[in-house]
Amino acid sequence: MTAGKSHRDIAVDLFGAEAVQAQWDAGSWVRSRVRRRIRKALYLMNGGYREFLETDK
């Protein structure tokens, strides 16, 4: 899923090296967002995308 990247590497890709350098610690918003995005991506990969396709219109 993350092609061998660490959460910190993913954060750099998403938010930039400066934000990660300044904000990376155990309770930071950067780490929290990376964890949430990974969790959401895994959910979508494992079939969650079907909810978007099955919406009633």
Per-domain residue ranges for the chain? 7-53
**How many CA atoms within 13 Å lie on the side-chain side of 4?**
0
Band (54; pLDDT cuts 50, 70, 90): confident
Sequence-ordered list of residues with C-beta below 8 angstroms from that of 23, at least 6 positions apart, any chain: 29, 30
pLDDT recorded at residue 52: 79
pLDDT single digits (tens) 5-49: 999 999 999 999 999 999 999 899 999 999 999 999 999 999 998
pLDDT recorded at residue 22: 94
pLDDT recorded at residue 2: 54
Q: Is the pLDDT of residue 56 over 90?
A: no
Q: Is the pLDDT of residue 1 over 70?
A: no
